Structure 1
Amino acid sequence: MGNVWDAEVVVTPLLAKQLIEAQFPQLSPARVAELGKGFDNTVYAVNDQYVFRFPRRSIAVPLLKTENALLPLLAEVLPIPIATPCFFGCREPGRFPWLYHGYHLLPGHPPGNLSYEQRVKSAAHLATFLGVLHSYPVEKALKTGVPFDELDRLDVHKRKPRLLEFLEKIRSLGLYSEVDELLRIVLHITPHDISGKTLLVHGDLHIRNMIVNNEGLIAGIIDWGDVHVGHPAVDLSIVYSFLPPEGRDRFYQIYGEVTPGTKELARFKALYTTAVLLLYAHDMKDLHLQKAAAQSFDLLRS
């Protein structure tokens, strides 16, 4: 059985350059440098000013279409910069089968090794951001093609056995030393009814999809491919994988209190996402991400 991040099509730097120069001659000669490979997209920096995302799997194509329609609207209201498409690439038969897009490069870098103090300083900014996002009119979002949660991201009954498998694999690979404590947390999490609350959510808010500035403060949110109408716990997972307890208290003072069940689901989602990220980092030999995911596990234990 393959990994969920295995690619169907990979755009090489040369092909990316050729596609961009053919469809966007104003960017010629295009200087292309790989920024990374996500589950769904291969990402390149272009001319040190733009970022282009090329789908790696067919499942990512409708997600990009939704981003193209929604993100320009969200950019007008959100208090943190987001990756707003401004170049809309088309398929080229024989070379690349799908659409792709580009946006202005957001200055900064992934969170990585931040201190507790730096993380706490981002709590208010993050709370304000999610408060605005989760208040966005759902009907307006649905008109742009945003789906409901089709992946049952908070289905504890379905996802807990898979998470337990991930954690055992992490133990066997020696990727994290405190797996037993994580297992105890997971085993005590129970299913909750999530039918009563549906909001617009980012859907995949974790350390790879955030940009911080040189002071470690959140400066951008990227990769909106999982945006959907669903339960806020999906996004609130970042509260547990990125913020220490002091930061969580500050976050909820601004965002507003949520139910204990929502907090438990958010922690569960954070554990699941972090486990996947750690295994992905190991498979990709990305030591920087591997260390960052381990730090998220440390926070999740606190």
Structure 2
Amino acid sequence: MTYLGEGWDSTAVLVGGRWVERRPRRPEIGPQLLRETVVMPWLAPLLPLPVPVPVVVSEDPVVVRHDLVPGGEVASPGAVQGRQLGEFLRALHAAPVAEAVRRGAGPRPLPVERFRAEVDVPGGEELLAKLDGLPADTVVHGDLGPEHVLGRDGVLTGVIDFGDLHIGDAAIDLAWALHSTPPEFAAAFAEAYGVTAELRERALTWHRLGPWHEVLHGNATGDRGMAEIGLAGVLERLGDGVSPH
């Protein structure tokens, strides 16, 4: 086994050079990993890029395993990758919601009260007010960022980490692609996906909200450094809505 790393929810090791084995870091993440083993076998054939399709190794303790998705984090994505990701998300967001719900997907409530209590910054309430009435009618990845979009030799090779998949606002998946990537990537992505002005504005709301989760996670885990980095990101994105590339 080769240790691959850990995220907020799970740890991963590479087994035999082929399988990625994941275990929950907290008890409440176990059902989330098991849900992926039900949703992803159905969803994967609908998508134009490779994604993890985990199977259950053990239910107690929870252990799941899937084929290694090739590639690594894309350092400087360009137009080709932008078009690929736009086509990928267009396919994902077209997935039948009723079938996803039947397989265990559902809405994901935001911790708005914790946001208010733990992230008290000028302009914060105005941002939180924009969350009221956002649509929740699409199968979304829910945590799409550079660490979860893989590539090699100038093209994308896969998308990973579907633990936060839920029924939500399509714009949440557009936030990074539109507001934290090089212009040529963002433009190609927007054209391939069919981004409207309304979608772009909602994506900016989600982009600005991203660091708020870092503050909450840092507070919950006692990681003061993460909380401080998150707060700096909150202030930066409220100021201009665009983080450095």
Q: TM-score, normalised by structure 2?
A: 0.78
Determine which structure has the larger strand proportion and give its number. Answer: 2
What is residue 110 of structure 2 aligned with on the other side?
Answer: 152
Distance 1:285 1:44 in 2: 26
8 Å contact from structure 1 (residues 240, 300) kept in 2: no
Structure 2 residue identity aligned to 1:39: W
What is residue 266 of structure 1 aligned with on the other side?
Answer: 203
What is residue 157 of structure 2 aligned with on the other side?
Answer: 219
For structure 2, list consecutive stretches of 5 or more residues without a partner in the other structure: 227-232
Label 1:163 to 1:120 Cα distance change in 2 as closer, same or farther (>3 A): farther
Shift of 1:59: 1.6
8 Å contact from structure 1 (residues 130, 255) kept in 2: yes
Cα deviation 1:131-167 (Å, max 9, x = unaligned): 0000100001111011212x327x6x974775566xx
What is residue 300 of structure 1 aligned with on the other side?
Answer: 242
Shift of 1:73: 1.0
What is residue 210 of structure 1 aligned with on the other side?
Answer: 149
The partner residue of 2:188 within 230, 246, 250 is 250
Distance 1:84 1:192 in 2: 32
Distance 2:27 2:169 in 1: 26
Label 1:119 to 1:51 Cα distance change in 2 as closer, same or farther (>3 A): same
| Aligned-pair Cα RMSD in Å | 3.4
What is residue 194 of structure 1 aligned with on the other side?
Answer: 133
Structure 1 residue identity aligned to 2:91: V
Q: Could you say which structure has the larger radius of gyration?
A: 1
Structure 2 residue identity aligned to 1:191: K
What is residue 122 of structure 1 aligned with on the other side?
Answer: 81
What is residue 108 of structure 1 aligned with on the other side?
Answer: 71
Label 1:164 to 1:285 Cα distance change in 2 as closer, same or farther (>3 A): closer
What is residue 36 of structure 2 aligned with on the other side?
Answer: 67
For structure 1, list consecutive stretches of 5 or more residues without a partner in the other structure: 1-31, 92-96, 166-182, 287-292
For residues 9-158 of structure 1, the aligned pairs below 5 Å read 32-86=1-55, 88-91=56-59, 97-111=60-74, 114-115=75-76, 118-149=77-108, 151-152=109-110
Shift of 1:259: 4.1
8 Å contact from structure 2 (residues 44, 50) kept in 1: yes
Identity of matched residues, %? 26
Distance 2:93 2:16 in 1: 34
Shift of 1:106: 1.2
Structure 2 residue identity aligned to 1:69: V
Moved beyond 6 Å, runs of 4+: none
Shift of 1:243: 2.2
Distance 1:45 1:285 in 2: 29
Shift of 1:239: 1.6
